[in-house]
Amino acid sequence: MTSEQARHQGRPGALGAHDDWRPTGPQPLTRHFQRLTQKARDLDRRRPFVWDLLVTGFYVTAALIDSLSGGWERVTEYPTLPGWLVVTISLGLTLPLLWRRTHPFAVIVTMFPFAVVNTWTGAFFQASMLLLLALFHVALRTRLRTLLWSYALTVQPFVVGGLRFPAEQGFDQNVVPTAMSLALAAAVGIAVRSRKEYLASLIERARQAEVERDQQLRLAASAERARIAREMHDIIGHNLSVITGLADGGRYAATKNPARAAEALTAIATTSRQALSELRRLLDVLRDEPENDPNGKEPAPPAELTPQPTLTDLDNLITGVRSAGLPVHTTIHGTSTLSPGRQLTVYRIIQEALTNTLKHAGPGATAELVMSYEAAGAVSLTITDTSRSTPTSPSPSNRGRGLPGMRERTALYNGTLETGPLPHPERGWRVHLHLPEETPQ
C-alpha cells in the first residue's frame, strides 16, 4: 500500500470515488477576510463621513508622498516642474474624492481641469488614475446619461496627453488602454449597482412577504375566533334557551303535577350534560398541545372528536325544543343530497331560529318549519313563528351573534338569508334561507 492509499483509507470513498475531495465551507483565511470586510461595512454604515475621510486621507497621503519624494520624476516629461504646481495637481486629483459618494459627477468635473493640466504639463502623476474610482461611483449612483458625460470627461485628459506627447504617450501605449480601463470601471460600477438593487428588491419582497404573512395570520386568527364564537353561541345559546324553557315549565308544573316537574328536571339535566359535553369537546380541540399527566411523564390522550351535527340530528333538535314548551310543526319536501358543510349550515340556522323563538316569542308561540330539497344540492328553508303576546323581533339590547352568525354561514355557500317580522296584522317572525346549487370543484 502506498502512502497516498494509506492517507485515503481512513475516510469514506477511498481512492477512486472521491479523488477530487476538497474541503467545504469557509476556510480560516476566508473567514478572517469576511470578518474584516464586515467590520469595514459596519463602520461605513454607522459613520460614512469618517470612512470617507479615511479613504480620502489615504489617497491624499499617497499622492503627496509620490510628489514630494520625487517618485513622479521617473515618468514625467518635465522633471523641473515647480513644487507648488506638483502639490496643487496632487491635491486637485485626490481631495475631491471626499464627496465621491454624495456628488460623484461634481467630483469628476472638479478633477477634470487638474487631470488636463497633469497631462498637458507632462507630469503624469499616478493620482490621475483615481478618475477610475470617481467614474465607478458615477456609474454606481447616477443615470446613464450622466455616466456617458463622465466617461467622456475622464478620457479627455489622456487624449490630451497622447496628442501632446505622441512619442511617449501615444494612443496605442496609453490612451486606448486607459479608455478600456475607464470603461471597465464603469462596467463594474453598473454591475455592483445592479447587484445592490437586486438585493434591495429581495429584501423588500421579503419584508412584504412578512407583512402579508402577518396579515394572513391575523385574518386567519380573526376568522377562527369568529368561527369559535359562532360555534359556542350555537351550542350554549340553544341549550340554555331550552333549559330556561324547561325550568319555567317545571316551576309551573311543580304545584299541580309533580311528575311533570320531575320530567322537566330530568330533561334539564340531560340538556345540561349534553351542552357541557359539546363545550368540553370544543375546548379540548382548542388546546395547542396535549397536556402532560400529573407526574409529567406522558402526554394526555388527544381530545375526543365527534362529527358536526347534520340534518339526521334534526329530529333530536326539534324534540328538545318541543320539550322546552315550543310546538314545532315540520314539513319536508324531497330527499337530502346536501354535502356535510351545507347540512351543518342548515342545521345551525334552524337551531338559531328556534332558539330565538324560545327566547323572544313569548308564551303561546308556535313555530312552523318548511324545507324543500332541490336539485344539485340546492335547498330552501322557511321558519315562521307566531305569538299572541309580544313581538318576536329581538330588542336591541338582546341582539348578539345570532343573526350575524346565520348570515356568515349563508355567505359561505353564496346563499340568501331573509329575516324579519310577519306582515301586519300578523304577529311573529320569519326566517327564509336559500342555498343555490353546488358548484362542481
306: closest CA among 353, 338, 344? 344
DSSP letter string over 356-410? HHHHHS-TT-EEEEEEEE-GGG-EEEEEEEE-SSS--SPPGGG--SHHHHHHHHH
Kindly report, residue by residue over 116-126, the tens digit of the pLDDT.
Answer: 998 888 888 88
pLDDT at 286: 61
Give this prediction's pTM.
0.50
Residue 64 has pLDDT above 50, yes or no: yes
Kindly report, residue by residue over 71-115, the tens digit of the pLDDT.
Answer: 777 777 777 788 888 889 999 999 999 999 999 999 999 999 999
By mean pLDDT, which of 12-26, 85-99, 145-159 is the weakest? Answer: 12-26
Residue spans of alpha helices (H) in 10-103: 28-46, 48-69, 83-94
d(CA 260, CA 225): 41
User: 87 with 67: CB under 8 angstroms?
Assistant: yes
Count CB atoms within 10 A of the CB of residue 153: 20
Q: In which residue are the cell numbers 481512513 written?
A: 10
Give the pLDDT band (50/70/90) at residue 281.
low
Residue 6 has pLDDT above 70, yes or no: no
pLDDT at 401: 62
CATH of domain 311-441: 3.30.565.10
Interval 249-265 mean pLDDT: 69
pLDDT at 384: 92
By mean pLDDT, which of 218-222, 239-243, 294-298, 406-410 is the weakest? Answer: 294-298
d(CA 88, CA 415): 85
Give the pLDDT band (50/70/90) at residue 13.
very low
- Write down the domain spans for the chain: 31-169, 311-441
3-state secondary structure of 433: strand
Give the pLDDT band (50/70/90) at residue 25.
low
More confident residue, 302 or 357: 357
pLDDT at 389: 47
pLDDT at 94: 93
Count CB atoms within 10 A of the CB of residue 57: 14
Residue type, 358: L
Strand order in the sheet with 379-386: 328-333, 366-373, 379-386, 428-435, 416-421
User: 154 with 182: CB under 8 angstroms?
Assistant: yes
pLDDT at 260: 67
Kindly report, residue by residue over 197-254, the tens digit of the pLDDT.
Answer: 999 999 999 998 888 888 888 888 777 777 777 777 666 666 676 777 767 666 666 6
Give the pLDDT band (50/70/90) at residue 391.
very low
Residue 148 has pLDDT above 70, yes or no: yes
End-to-end Cα separation, the chain, in angstroms? 69
By mean pLDDT, which of 133-142, 288-297, 321-330 is the weakest? Answer: 288-297
pLDDT at 379: 92
By mean pLDDT, which of 41-55, 116-130, 160-174 is the weakest? Answer: 160-174
Share of the chain above pLDDT 70, in %: 76
Residue 194 has pLDDT above 70, yes or no: yes
Q: In which residue are the cell numbers 311533570 written?
A: 260
pLDDT at 392: 44
Q: What is the mean pLDDT of the chain?
A: 79
pLDDT at 58: 92
Count CB atoms within 10 A of the CB of residue 174: 18
Interval 17-41 mean pLDDT: 69
Cell output for 126: 499616478
